[in-house]
Amino acid sequence: MATTTSDFRVDPVSGLKIHRTANTLVKWNAVAAVVFLLVGGLFGLGVALTRMPSVQLLSPELFYLALTAHGLVNLVVWIIFFEMAVLYFLGAHVLGNRIATPRWAWAQFWLMLVGAALVAVAVLGGNSSVMMTSYPPLQAEPHFYLGLIIFAVGALIGCFVFLGTLVVAKREKTYQGSLPLVVFGGVTATVIAVFTLVSGAMILIPTFLWSVGLIGYIDPMMYRVIWWAFGHSSQQINVVAHISIWYLIASLVFGAKPMSEKVSRGAFLLYILFLQLGSAHHLLSDPGLTSAWKIFNTSYAIYLAVLASMIHGLTVPGSIELAQRRKGIDTGLFTWLRKAPWGNPVFSGMFLSLVGFGFIGGVTGVVMSVEQINMVIHNTMYLPGHFHGTLVVGTTMAFMAVTYWLIPVVFQRKIALAGMAKWQPYIFSLGAWVFSIALMGAGTLGVQRRHADITFAGQPLAYEYPEIAKGLMDLGEIFGVIMSVGAVMFIVVVLASIFTGERIAEDSAPWPKVEDADVVAERTGKKHVGMWGMEAPGTFVLAMILFATIVLYYFVNFKYLSTIWGLS
Amino acid sequence: MGTAYTPPVADWWREPIERTEIWWIVLAFAWCIFMFVWMIGWHFVGPQNMSNETYRTTVDVYAAKVDAMTEKYTIRTDEATGEPVVAPPPGSDVYLAAMQWQYRPILELKKGEKYRLHISSYDVGHGFSLQPENINFQVYPGYEQVTTVTPNKTGIFAIACGEYCGGAGGIGHHSMLGRIYVKE
């Protein structure tokens, strides 16, 4: 397809050569994502206010409906719409490329929208409150499954549009040599996404046929094994996507380059090879699967995907430290960090995402996926605590951070309400961090997840959780409300910027670009940086703190495990 | 030269790896191997492990076993519910059924003794969650899992449901309970 120069514009903010059609697609997917974030967040707020033992807002019927909706909208719809925007941005914008087959890309958008709407109709109808996991023999209405299938087909089309866009870039030589690291991360996410969506189709199509009576029986164990290849792997797409965004922001804000392309790419490769084995995490306390199967899969062979995450956890802040030191902030251990632009939400959001994901989502994820320890946390409130520590603290915060940079580039508007934007990452993260930690505390004390009422009120065999567990639930959900406030602030900033932000004319003067740290170092002759023979000693110390936390938490949990009933 | 969003230098795979990264990778990988070995090792030296013993069953077959045990070993009626309390002898097979929305029968076990605890469901998926021990298993219809349990404390233990299993109003997943008494 021939393209003319008017199909592109040169963006004054980023200097990128932007394909207008690709840009429109990024816009629509991003807007859909944010609208769904709002919708899902409102359901989440309802869930939070019900789970506070002292408030109990919703009736059980409405609670289970809201929890089903919250899970699907925030865990699936918001995130996958945003990821479509990210993929098109990586394939087209970053590479100065046109998007392949725009018609198929629009099919992606509309199929996902129609699918999400069908699921919404089913859930809001009240007869499909089966949770996002929809384990048979619990049965939802047929259009619940059909909506999910259509949504997944749309997303799958989006993946292939992205891959096709890369082929175009290669053929039309819009870049030289290897793909940039962030695009390589996008490829990693796409490979995992294809695996994920095919798994989803494999299990949801028969379940749909079962719901309309064409198939007589869905084995509950088989369903869980295949469903989690979809349910867990979809969250792995997020991890890869938000790690790519970390690298992107480190480069945008600091002019940083990856410490070692080889190491970072190798870590992404480990994700492609091993990350999906992690769907076994959900099956560790299941009957019918052997311990050999569980141990191999839950540990991603020999924890090779954990290794990859630990590598990214060091190399991203390491690249920032290195850039800061090369630019002259080369004293002390943490001066580079203290002098970072903490008032810029693109950076603060990204760094909060990084630290929170490592210490809250990461540490607990490693420990809870030990086959034996899983028995003392499986399906307790620990689970929602953990995955809010990954998905909200990590993924959602990173997506929000990059949005503050994307609005001027993609929507050609300056950020409106910059003061609110500056505080938003802190308020959102404060809420999300305490929420996650408090829920994990309650789960450790036994509180079960997905309960409309954790007091067992009026039951003859009633059991009371320890008072401290109920207190933790109250505390956690109060911070859940703070997290919601942070999310609303984000949505207000986004909508205000898109609709009322100051326009950035296409022919306006280029914005000052952050200089590559390498270029600065070359000019100033600053070749050797760091101390103790390490270029990033501050990051190494931070990594050691993370390491000590994992080791300590690992053994604390084994100590707790060793006190319970004997089980074999 | 370079950033994460521009193509790397042509021979990026030949660039040396800096010391910060090498040390971290070595340490992280050593910990990965340790965790892998420890998880296997706990199966040999640790007293708490998942059972690998599971059978296919049907609701009718399983219910017959539950009923036979209840008939044979009922020792009294429970004060709270008026239902039978079943105390199978140490070492025997104990059958527990999950159903919408309760765990039955109510059991009484002896501290320090071993029991072969069978669990299955009569209808949808459930979660076995023993409180306050906080021991949690998944339970399916059609599958009968056998775990050898050794209670190490006396007291009244609740079984809550860990997997959403439907329900509305005051009765449902959130009200599903069972009970195990453990005596000296």
DSSP code for A128: -
If you write DSSP's letter for every residue of chain B in order, what string do you get? ---TTSPPPTTGGGSPPPHHHHHHHHHHHHHHHHHHHHHHHHHHH-SB----EEEE--HHHHHHHHHHHHHHHEEEE-TTT--EEE-PPTTSEEEEEEETTEEESEEEEETT--EEEEEEESSS-EEEEEETTTEEEEE-BTEEEEEEEE--S-EEEEEEE-S---EETTEEGGG-EEEEEEE-
Interface check B112 vs A, CB under 8 A: no
- CA distances to A33, A63, A364, B34 from A28, in Å: 8, 31, 35, 47
3 state SS of A27: helix
Query: Does residue B136 belong to any structural domain of this protein?
Result: yes
Report which residue type is found at B114. K
Confidence of residue A528 (pLDDT cuts 50, 70, 90): confident
Which residues make beta-bridge pairs with B179? B158
Peptide bond into B132 cis (omega under 30): yes
- Best probe of the B interface among A50, A376, A378, A406, by most B CBs < 10 A, is A378
pLDDT tens digits, one per residue of B44-90: 999 999 999 999 999 999 999 999 999 999 999 998 888 999 999 99
* B109 occurs within a structural domain: yes
Contact: B20, A535; criterion CB under 8 Å: yes
Identify the band that residue A522 occupies on the pLDDT scale cut at 50, 70 and 90.
Answer: confident
Find the CB nearest B28 among A135, A295, A307: A307
Chain B residues with beta carbon closer than 8 angstroms to that of A138: 124-125, 164-166
Q: What is the mean pLDDT of chain A?
A: 95
**pLDDT over 60 at B2, yes or no:** yes
Phi, psi torsion values for B166, nearest 5 degrees: 85, -170
Closest-approach residue (CA) in chain B for A296 = B36
Please, which residues have CB within 8 angstroms of residue A552's CB and are 6 or more apart in sequence?
Answer: none
CA distance, residue A357 to nearest chain B CA (Å): 17
- What confidence score (pLDDT) does residue A513 get? 87
Interchain pair A461, B8: CB under 8 A: no
Q: Do B42 and A372 touch (CB under 8 A)?
A: yes
Residue A565 is classified by DSSP as: -
Q: What percent of chain B has pLDDT over 90?
A: 91
Chain B nearest C-alpha distance from A391 (Å):
21
A217 touches B: beta carbon within 8 Å: no
Q: Which residue has the tokens 């909508």?
A: A495
Q: Is residue B15 part of a domain?
A: no
Residues of B whose CB is below 8 A from A251: 3-5
Count residue pairs from A and B with Cβ separation < 8 A: 325
Q: Phi-psi region for residue A97, left (φ > 0), alpha (ψ -120 to 50) or beta?
A: beta
Would you say A385 and A391 are in contact if contact means Cβ atoms under 8 Å apart? no
Q: What pLDDT does residue B168 have?
A: 76
pLDDT at B79: 85
A536 near B CB under 8 A: yes
**pLDDT tens digits, one per residue of A326-349:** 999 999 999 999 999 999 999 999
> CATH code at B88?
2.60.40.420
Average pLDDT over residues A162-172: 97
Residue range A110-161, pLDDT digits in tens? 999 999 999 999 999 988 999 999 999 999 999 999 999 999 999 999 999 9
pLDDT for A457: 83
Residue B152 lies in a domain: yes
Which residues in chain A are closer than 8 Å to B34, comparing Cβ atoms? none
Q: Which of B126, B138, B144 to mutate to test the interface with A (most CBs of A within 10 A)?
A: B138
Q: Which residue of A has its CA nearest to B25?
A: A311
Per-residue model confidence as pLDDT tens digits over A345-366: 999 999 999 999 999 999 999 9
Instruction: Give the range of the structural domain holding residue B170, as residue numbers without chain letter.
Output: 53-183
pLDDT digits (tens, 9 = 90+) for A429-456: 999 999 999 999 999 999 999 999 888 8
Q: Do B20 and A318 touch (CB under 8 A)?
A: yes
pLDDT band at B1 (very low <50, low <70, confident <90, very high): low
Residue B40 domain flag: no
Distance, in angstroms, between A563 CA and closest chain B CA? 8
pLDDT digits (tens, 9 = 90+) for A6-58: 899 999 999 999 999 999 999 999 999 999 999 999 999 999 999 987 888 99
B21-51 pLDDT, tens per residue?
Answer: 999 999 999 999 999 999 999 999 999 999 9
Q: Is A380 helix (H, G, I), strand (E, B) or coil?
A: strand
Token pair for residue A325?
């030191």
Q: What is the C-alpha to C-alpha distance for residues B133 and B147, in angstroms, rounded to an integer?
A: 16
Confidence category of residue A3, pLDDT binned at 50, 70, 90 = low
For A251, which of B3, B142, B150 is closest by C-beta distance?
B3
- B window 74-103, beta carbon within 8 A of A: 80-81, 102
Strand partners, B104: B97
Residue A20 C-alpha from the chain's centroid: 27
**Which pLDDT tens digit goes with each residue over A450-505?**
999 888 888 889 899 999 999 999 999 999 999 999 999 999 999 999 999 999 99
Q: Which of B15, B25, B142 sits opposite A220 (nearest CB)?
A: B142
How many Å lie between the alpha carbon of B89 and the closest alpha carbon of chain A?
Answer: 17
Question: Hey, is the C-beta of B45 within 8 angstroms of any chain A C-beta?
Answer: no
Other residues' Cβ atoms within 10 Å of the Cβ of residue B59:
15
Q: Which of A67, A546, A115, A490 is nearest to B27 (CA)?
A: A546
Q: Is the CB of A307 inside 8 Å of chain B's CB atoms?
A: yes
Residues forming a β-bridge with B178: B159
The confidence score (pLDDT) of residue A84 equals 96
- Asked if residue B1 is part of any domain, the answer here is no
Residue B46 in any domain: the answer is no
Show which of residues 123-152 on chain B sit within 8 Å of chain A, judged by CB atoms: 123-125, 127, 129-145, 147-152
> What tokens appear for B15 in the block?
């660039």
Residues of A in contact with B123 (CB under 8 A): 137
pLDDT tens digits, A508-517: 999 988 989 9
The structure tokens 């069978």 sit at B118
Alpha-carbon distance A116 to nearest alpha carbon in chain B (angstroms): 23
Distance CA B163, CA A529 (A): 54
Instruction: Give A 362-421 residues with CB within 8 A of chain B.
Output: 366, 370-372, 375-380
A293 CB-side CA count, 13 A = 15
Question: What's the N-to-C CA distance of chain B in angstroms?
Answer: 73
User: Would you call B140 and A220 a contact, using CB atoms and an 8 Å cutoff?
Assistant: yes
Give the CA-trace dihedral at A119, A124, A129, A135, to 10 degrees. Answer: 0
User: Is B18 part of any domain?
Assistant: no
Please give the tally of structural domains in chain B. 1
pLDDT average, residue stretch A76-87: 94
CB atoms A567 and B135 under 8 Å? yes
- Render pLDDT for A271-303 as a digit per residue (tens, 0 to 9): 999 999 999 999 999 999 999 999 999 999 999
Q: Are the C-beta atoms of residues B86 and B73 closer than 8 Å to each other?
A: yes
| Nearest chain B Cα distance for residue A261, angstroms | 6
Among all residues of chain B, which has the CA nearest to that of A289? B52
Tens digits of residue pLDDT in A533-567? 899 999 999 999 999 999 999 999 999 999 999 99
Task: Choose the weakest-confidence range: A280-284, A375-379, B115-119, B165-169.
Answer: B165-169
Give yes or no for A454 touching B (CB within 8 A).
yes
- Give the span between the Cα atoms of B128 and B1, in whole angstroms: 57
